[in-house]
Amino acid sequence: MIPIRFGYKASAEQFGPGELLDYAVLAEEVGFDSVFISDHLQPWLHEGGHAPASIPWLGALGARTSKVLIGTSVLTPTFRYNPTVVAQDFATLGVLYPGRVILGVGTGEALNEANLGITWPEPPERFQRLKEAIGLIRRLWSEDRVNFDGTYYHAKNITIYDKLDQPVPIYIGAAGPAATRLAGRIADGFITTSGKKRELYTDTLLPALEEGLSKEGRAPGSIDTLMEIKVSLDETLEAAQEKTRFWAPLALTPEEKMGIDDPIEMQRLGEELPIERAASRFIVSDDPDEHVERIAWYVSLGFRHLVFHDPGHDQEAFLRRYGTEILPRLRARFGA
């Protein structure tokens, strides 16, 4: 059985690389088991936004920490990055920090890819690109010399010279059944995010994951299941709710943000939302026990890796309070 772990989501869209690195180092110090960073070319908000590059940042994080797992949640290995480059980058990180690196991947979004002149394809093509990219990355990690002639990617006489015998785990991020089934079939882990209708998890995503596992003869619970849980804990309920305003674009529906490739427009749409809707994706409470109870629901569904994302600007206060008041309660309850 995969142990229960608790992680910190480093908000690359909200903080510059140095400040974010200090927070991630503190996360290890106060007892978090992992640190994951998103990989954005552009943030959700133009004003006050940031977008440090995830791969060099992870290299710096590995050097300043000793035990936390580190990874992307998630990187798109299909447009801005050629999968061969991703294979080389994460093989190097794996050699530098063995047993600590995770490559989390997804199908991407227009905000990070389309402005490079890439024609933004429909979801079925993005899915097929991801599937092919993962296959190429794994061949590069497992074979001495690779020639590959795929539908979307090609490699000729490629060797990744610096790599481990035990490759970096690949987790697939998904919000729909097709990518979730793919995670069950081929991935080392599955990533999704909290705060959506419970039926999405109980009736769609988790059954799709089990279907994928079963199709490949893999046992239930044989891969890591990572839930990014959006949380806002403060001294008052009003303060906890107000903190979520920066992340209002997260509450936009897929239809509302489909194809948007400009942070200025994404910010405008987010600012039009009432605070109640901005807060709807978060566990918003001034009561630590309520946070634990609502987090426990995701554990009851079978998620074993809970990565917490706080929307506030005072990340040190969040990390210290969660490290003192929430993580001990969770570890006592679930034996982590």
Chain centroid to Cα 63, Å, comes to 21
Each residue's pLDDT tens digit, 28-68: 999 999 999 999 999 888 888 899 999 999 999 999 999 99
Question: CB of 194 within 8 A of CB of 229?
Answer: yes
The angle that helices 123-142 and 177-186 make with each other, rounded to 10 degrees, is 10
Looking at the chain, the whole-number percentage of residues with pLDDT higher than 90 is: 84
User: pLDDT at residue 336 above 80?
Assistant: no
CA-CA-CA-CA torsion sign (332, 6, 209, 213): negative
Q: How far are the Cα atoms of 17, 246, 249, 282 from residue 46, in angstroms, in the given order?
A: 17, 11, 12, 22
| More confident site: 99 or 254 | 99
Count each helix (H run) and each strand (E run) in the chain, helices first: 15, 11
Closest CA to 126 of 258, 264, 263: 258
Using the 8-state DSSP alphabet, how is residue 22 labeled? H
Weakest mean pLDDT among 91-105, 112-126, 192-206: 112-126
Positive or negative CA dihedral for 176, 327, 40, 103?
A: negative
Rounded average pLDDT over 218-240: 96
Structure token pair of residue 268: 């405008």
pLDDT in tens, 273-289: 988 998 999 999 999 99
The CA radius of gyration of the chain, in Å to the nearest whole number, is: 19
Quick check: is 265 catalytic? no
> Per the structure block, which two tokens stand in for 145?
């010399």
> What is the residue-averaged pLDDT of the chain?
95
Give the whole-angstrom CA distance, residue 108 versus residue 127: 10
Q: Does pLDDT of 95 surpass 80? A: yes
Q: How many domains does the chain have?
A: 1
The arithmetic mean of pLDDT across residues 130-151, rounded, is: 98
The answer on pLDDT for 89 being more than 90 is: yes
C-beta separation of 75 from 86 below 8 A = yes
Sort strands 224-233 and 305-309 into parallel, antiparallel or unpaired.
parallel
What burial class does residue 134 get, using C-beta atoms within 10 Å of its C-beta: 0-12 exposed, 13-18 middle, 19+ buried?
buried
**CA atoms within a 13 Å half-sphere pointing along the CA-CB vector of 215:** 13
Residue 114: the pLDDT is 87
Write out the residue range of the structural domain in which residue 71 sits: 5-334
Residue 1 has pLDDT above 70, yes or no: no
pLDDT digits (tens, 9 = 90+) for 65-74: 999 999 999 9
pLDDT digits (tens, 9 = 90+) for 295-333: 999 999 999 999 999 999 999 999 999 999 999 999 999
Catalytic residue among 13, 40, 242, 291: 40
Active-site entry in 13, 109, 113, 228: 109
Q: Is 40 a catalytic residue?
A: yes
Residue 246 has pLDDT above 90, yes or no: no
Crossing angle between the packed helical segments 54-64 and 17-29, to the nearest 10 degrees? 40
The answer to whether 39 and 81 are in contact (CB under 8 A) is no
Q: Which of 61, 65, 60, 90 is nearest to 75 (CA)?
A: 90
Residue 292 has pLDDT above 90, yes or no: yes
Banded model confidence at residue 290, pLDDT cuts 50, 70, 90: very high
* pLDDT tens profile 151-187: 999 999 999 999 999 999 999 999 999 999 999 999 9
* 134/55 Cα distance (integer angstroms): 17
CATH code of the domain in which 201 resides: 3.20.20.30
Rounded Cα distance between 299 and 51, Å, is 31
